[in-house]
Amino acid sequence: MYKHILIPTDGSPISTKALEKALDFAREIGAEVTVLAVMEPLQVLTLNPSGLEVAYAEYDRQNNAAADGILADAKEAAKQRMVACEGVKLGNSDAARTIVETAEQYNCDLIAMASHGRSGFKAFMLGSVTMKVLAHSKLPVLVYR
């Protein structure tokens, strides 16, 4: 069966619920996990860039702190379930590509992630990280809703 599961999470309630279910699954099958937090960079379009250095620095500080907190919570949840867990945080504006590449780089054999359940126009306009992972991953993807 599966031996190494990648679990991407953004810390949202649905993503956290999927993380917990994936950790339970990992415990049941004796798999190890890698939990991934993808930090998207601040993107600002402006004609007056003066002063943005401070905004970028503060955004990066808060983004890193949030990712560290998400990964610490995930590691604690894994520890409670006695599941071997590694935490990874990466910065990239393309979360789906980062998830697929990280799964390959860490030799994972399954990606387990949440779907926020957007459909119709919202899904079209916002895109879906889960849909993009499903479309581009060569590995099986387990989607929690």
Domains of the chain by residue range = 4-144
CA atoms of 84 and 67, how far apart (whole Å): 19
Task: Record the tokens describing residue 63, joined without a space.
Answer: 């983004």
Task: Record the tokens describing residue 113, joined without a space.
Answer: 């992630």
pLDDT in tens, 116-139: 755 555 555 446 899 999 999 999
CA atoms of 77 and 100, how far apart (whole Å): 23
Minimum mean pLDDT range among 11-15, 18-22, 28-32, 67-71: 11-15
Confidence band (pLDDT; 50, 70, 90) for 91?
very high
Confidence band (pLDDT; 50, 70, 90) for 97?
very high
Task: Record the tokens describing residue 30, joined without a space.
Answer: 């004796």
Other C-beta atoms closer than 10 Å to the C-beta of 9 total 24
| Exposure of 86 in the CB half-sphere (CA atoms within 13 A) | 12
- The pLDDT value recorded for residue 123 is 54
| Mean of all residue pLDDT scores within the chain | 89
For the domain 4-144, what is the CATH superfamily, name and number? HUPs (3.40.50.620)
- Which amino acid appears at position 65 of this protein? A
